[in-house]
Amino acid sequence: MALTKKNIIVGAARIYLGPSIDQQAGSTFDAKYTVSKPAYVANTRYSTTMAGANGSTNTGVGTAVANWNEVGYTQDGLEVATDPSWAEVEVDQLLDSAKIFKDGMTVNISTTFAEATLENLLIAWGQAANTISSISATEKEIRLTGGALGEFPLERGLVAIGNAPENVSGNSYGERVYQAFRVISVEAVSIANSRSEATTIPVTFRALPADNGDYGVFRDRLNVT
């Protein structure tokens, strides 16, 4: 590969949360994947498409796509961390392992919500948005619940949109779309009111594989404006 500055990427990502792929209709993985998010539009940035779906219902390929909501401003960027684990077979005749094989895999997605809304706090706690109670037009509250023994964590879909290598026809960045099919928030969460720092919500999502074993897809779109 030739040296080129066009492949150097900087910039933040916009993050949206919606339904997980396992909450979608469809008898096959491909059918669920198709309707689990708004469809791509040729030559149009996906951030523009997602803005149209934000907080509303957007029509995908023949099926309504449930709400996708942007989490707002973030800090510390977006980090996607893969952590495979490998086991080894040691034999007497070698000083090292004769074979290494994969025996585990975890994928985590981390960011910090800079907008410390009650909605974002529920996301970090892994609770549903319908647990927000409207007291009046200017007051609302959420309740931190412990759940029940054996309760399953709440799954969401995640789409993040950031910069890709530069556009093929100019010096502007292309667009990279990250889609995680199933994410859950099961890590410890702490928030604080501090005299000298903004109140933020650090959150780490554990990504889970879909039925076909895929965690998600990354797509670079270098022909959008």
Residue 202's pLDDT is what? Answer: 95
Is residue 31, in this structure, part of any structural domain at all? yes
Residue 101's pLDDT is what? Answer: 97
Give, in order, the Cα–Cα distances in Å from 66 to each of 36, 58, 169: 8, 7, 34
Residue 53's pLDDT is what? Answer: 63
Residue 85's domain comprises 12-141+152-221
What is the enclosing helix (H) or strand (E) of 179? strand 173-185
Mean pLDDT (10-residue bins), the chain, 225 residues: 84 90 80 82 87 51 57 94 96 95 96 93 86 83 85 91 85 91 92 92 95 93 85
What is the tally of structural domains in the chain?
Answer: 1
Residue 61's pLDDT is what? Answer: 33
Residue 182's pLDDT is what? Answer: 94
User: Could you tell me if 174 and 224 are in contact, meaning their C-beta atoms sit under 8 angstroms apart?
Assistant: yes
Is residue 171, in this structure, part of any structural domain at all? yes
* CB-based contacts of 147, cutoff 8 Å, min separation 6: none
Residue 209's pLDDT is what? Answer: 94
User: Could you tell me if 180 and 15 are in contact, meaning their C-beta atoms sit under 8 angstroms apart?
Assistant: no
Residue 64's pLDDT is what? Answer: 39
Is residue 2, in this structure, part of any structural domain at all? no
Is residue 29, in this structure, part of any structural domain at all? yes
Give, in order, the Cα–Cα distances in Å from 178 to each of 4, 5, 101, 130: 24, 22, 28, 26
DSSP string, 109-122: EEEEESS--HHHHH
Residue 183's pLDDT is what? Answer: 96
What is the enclosing helix (H) or strand (E) of 29? helix 29-35
Is residue 7, in this structure, part of any structural domain at all? no
Is residue 16, in this structure, part of any structural domain at all? yes
Is residue 1, in this structure, part of any structural domain at all? no
* CB-based contacts of 95, cutoff 8 Å, min separation 6: none
Residue 55's pLDDT is what? Answer: 52
Is residue 26, in this structure, part of any structural domain at all? yes
